[in-house]
Chains A and B, each alone.
Chain A
Amino acid sequence: MPTSQRHKLMMSLLGWVVAFLVFFPILWMFLTSFKTELDAVSGTPNIFFEPTLENYAAVQERADYFRFAMNSIIISFGSTILALVFAIPAAYAMAFFPSKRTRGTLLWMLSTKMLPPVGVLVPVYLIFRDLQLLDSHLGLVIVFALMNLPIIVWMLFTFFKEVPKDILEAGRMDGASPRQELRFILIPLSVPGIASTGLLSVILAWNEAFWSLNLTTVAAAPLTAFIASFSSPEGLFWAKLSAASTMAIAPILIFGWLSQKQLVRGLTFGAVK
């Protein structure tokens, strides 16, 4: 075997051992979700067990799982759409009609992300209480839209910058107003960019736990809160918890895997190419 081949074999071995170890907790949870409760809590781990789907059935039967899942979907997609509606015109204006203030505005938007949520928890909680937004879909949709708005504007801005100016110029020659230009030229051209921005926003909203734990109780509680409610009963429901957790993370994991490249850009605000 030539050295380069042996090197490749060693690297493959090392790479897969590391990948296995990092992924192991998720794999373990996935396996546990197919065990009986008795197998799940047995102190001796068993890899060879009779797989069962009873946990998934049990989680489905508890009607609440679907309500929580539905809440997650409504809140993460709702907030993403709301944020996009605000962000697309802003990013368009900043990408194609930059002014002296553009740079400062973008950086200021980023700086609002630095405000720690816990620092403003009390007033937001009290405002929500007074506006009856506590434990409501609308409340979390608003909070998550605002939370992700800076990242969304940044990402869209980066994507819009890559659209060739000539195409918009041509539209302008034909007498398109900025509004028409945005609607008929830019948005159709940037569908992939807008989609990956939206995906990132959905992922962030889906996994957000601070606001969802503090601003909801039952009616609008998303999956993060549902899963957290499993933290108290010790030892009894590991298999069911694993099944519920698997269902809670599977869609986002797949989303994340599909959009990993764009995600990096979004999270670094374009600072790393």
Chain B
Amino acid sequence: MALFRRETQRRVNTLPLVAPSVGVLLIWMIIPLVMTIWFSLQNYNLIVPTIRGFAGLDNYAYLLDDPALWTAMINTLVLVGSVLAITVVFGTLFAVLLNQDFWGVGAARLFIIAPFFVMPTVSALIWKNMLMHPVNGLFAWITRSLGLPPVDWFADVPMLSVIIIVAWQWIPFATLILLTALQSLDEEQKEAARMDGAGPLSMFYFIILPHLGRSITVVIMIETIFLLTIFAEIFVTTSGGPGLATTNLAFFIYIRALLEFDVGGASAGGVIAIILANIVAIFLVRSVARNLDA
């Protein structure tokens, strides 16, 4: 891809064209970041205004001592990991399915990608009220009809419930990306494999899956960025509970900041979230940069 090929052309001062975008993004990034770090080193609680001043690393020490932080971190990893696994597996299967030629495949594709466009608060409420409600929900009716005891989804398996909802929202994204990748697969290569007597399964393992490798990396990286800060789904369904069962890092910081007014503690949590996200970001930017050069 000759995305960055340079050509000889007349010199144009591009600074006035690029500077505004770069400038506002720089401000948007630097100021809150510096403030977050600064607050994280302060005693700063909005309901205890008398105690102010430099706290050093106290907020971090206090936070790292708090078992809730570790629970939130583990919950974040469980949520991200499970959703990634589910979406990649189902995304691959659905993409292979939609890559077949069948009646109405175009319309079927539209239906399968639809959940991605539904705002998270709406999808969380549909699942919470209409499907997973322990008495009036559709799932309760199904289990009742089968003579099984009803499942109180958000009380019995809260994390699983959130995972199901989030996975439902992100499967379409994985499907779309992987489908696009599949469509770029060389027909001749498939034909050659078929001539050599490859069945559908060996075709999948030896031709399709390797071809999808890079796209699966892209799916994982991009989903991770969004999944690390899942908020609305938890806000609407469980509010992080019962107990801390579905409190992820984003929700943990939200509670600290806007419900407990502990600016210092919340900022320290924010810094930890930023560090976590950056570990992921390094890999993502690298893989995108590689794609640019290819």
Q: What is the minimal beta-carbon distance from B272 to any residue of chain A, in angstroms?
A: 8
B78, CB-defined interface residue at 8 Å = no
Q: Which of B107, B121, B177, B253 touches A118 (beta carbons < 8 Å)?
A: B253
B202, CB-defined interface residue at 8 Å = no
B114, CB-defined interface residue at 8 Å = yes
Docked pose: A109 CA to B114 CA in angstroms: 29
Q: Which of A102, A253, A273 touches B180 (beta carbons < 8 Å)?
A: A273
Q: Which of B12, B20, B122, B131 touches A245 (beta carbons < 8 Å)?
A: B122
Segment among A50-58, A187-195, A264-272 that sits at the interface with chain B: A264-272
A170, CB-defined interface residue at 8 Å = no
Q: Which of A18, A20, A116, A150 touches B277 (beta carbons < 8 Å)?
A: A116
Chain A residues with Cβ below 8 Å from B122 are 29, 227, 245, 248-249
Q: Which of A92, A178, A231 touches B128 (beta carbons < 8 Å)?
A: A231
B104, CB-defined interface residue at 8 Å = yes
Chain B residues with Cβ below 8 Å from A257 are 110, 113-114, 117
A230, CB-defined interface residue at 8 Å = yes
Quick one: which of A25-83 are within 8 Å of B by CB?
A: 25-26, 28-29, 32, 41-45
Quick one: which of A211-237 are within 8 Å of B by CB?
A: 213-214, 223-225, 227-228, 230-231, 234-235
Q: Which of B24, B110, B173, B285 touches A146 (beta carbons < 8 Å)?
A: B24
Chain B residues with Cβ below 8 Å from A165 are 7
Quick one: which of A152-189 are within 8 Å of B by CB?
A: 153, 161, 165, 172, 178
Docked pose: A257 CA to B119 CA in angstroms: 15
Docked pose: A263 CA to B266 CA in angstroms: 34
Q: Contact check, A20 vs B111: say whether CB atoms are below 8 A apart.
A: yes
Q: What is the minimal beta-carbon distance from B27 to any residue of chain A, in angstroms?
A: 9
Q: Contact check, A15 vs B288: say whether CB atoms are below 8 A apart.
A: no
Docked pose: A123 CA to B237 CA in angstroms: 27
Interface of chain A: mostly helix, strand, loop or mixed: helix
The residue of chain B having its C-beta at the shortest distance from the C-beta of A16 within the complex is B108
Chain B residues with Cβ below 8 Å from A118 are 229, 231, 249-250, 253-254, 270, 273
Docked pose: A86 CA to B273 CA in angstroms: 29
B135, CB-defined interface residue at 8 Å = yes
Known A238-B129, A260-B176: A253·B117 in contact at CB below 8 Å? yes
Q: Which of B118, B173, B229 touches A117 (beta carbons < 8 Å)?
A: B229
Chain A residues with Cβ below 8 Å from B102 are 8, 11-12, 15
Q: Contact check, B228 vs A228: say whether CB atoms are below 8 A apart.
A: no
Known A43-B141, A122-B267, A273-B184: A253·B114 in contact at CB below 8 Å? yes
Q: Contact check, A149 vs B21: say whether CB atoms are below 8 A apart.
A: yes
Q: Which of B35, B113, B127, B229 touches A210 (beta carbons < 8 Å)?
A: B229
Docked pose: A235 CA to B138 CA in angstroms: 13
Q: Contact check, B118 vs A146: say whether CB atoms are below 8 A apart.
A: no
Q: Which of B20, B250, B263, B292 touches A86 (beta carbons < 8 Å)?
A: B20
What mask results when residues 86 to 125 of chain A are scored 1 for a CB within 8 Å of chain B, else 0?
1101101110011100110101011111111111111111
B115, CB-defined interface residue at 8 Å = yes
Q: Contact check, A264 vs B180: say whether CB atoms are below 8 A apart.
A: yes
What mask results when residues 6 to 18 of chain A are scored 1 for a CB within 8 Å of chain B, else 0?
0010011011101
Quick one: which of B256-294 are within 8 Å of A by CB?
A: 257-258, 263, 266-267, 270-271, 273-274, 276-278, 280-281, 284-285, 287-289, 291-292
Docked pose: A120 CA to B33 CA in angstroms: 6
Docked pose: A146 CA to B20 CA in angstroms: 12
Chain A residues with Cβ below 8 Å from B181 are 272
Quick one: which of B109-154 are within 8 Å of A by CB?
A: 109-131, 133, 135-136, 138, 140-141, 144
Segment among B47-55, B92-100, B155-163, B191-199 that sits at the interface with chain A: B92-100
A136, CB-defined interface residue at 8 Å = no
Chain A residues with Cβ below 8 Å from B222 are 267-268
B39, CB-defined interface residue at 8 Å = yes
Chain B residues with Cβ below 8 Å from A206 are 119
25 contacts between A and B (CB under 8 A): A11-B101, A15-B100, A15-B105, A16-B104, A19-B109, A26-B126, A41-B136, A90-B20, A90-B22, A93-B18, A114-B280, A116-B276, A117-B229, A125-B258, A165-B7, A178-B12, A213-B231, A223-B119, A224-B121, A227-B119, A228-B125, A228-B236, A231-B128, A241-B125, A264-B180
**Considering the complex of A and B, which 6 residue pairs feature the smallest CB-CB distances, nearest first?**
A209-B232, A114-B281, A123-B35, A120-B32, A256-B117, A93-B14
Interface, chain A (partner B; CB < 8 A): 8, 11-12, 14-16, 18-20, 22-23, 25-26, 28-29, 32, 41-45, 86-87, 89-90, 92-94, 97-99, 102-103, 105, 107, 109-127, 146, 149-150, 153, 161, 165, 172, 178, 203, 206-207, 209-210, 213-214, 223-225, 227-228, 230-231, 234-235, 238, 241-242, 245, 248-249, 252-253, 255-257, 260-261, 263-264, 267-273
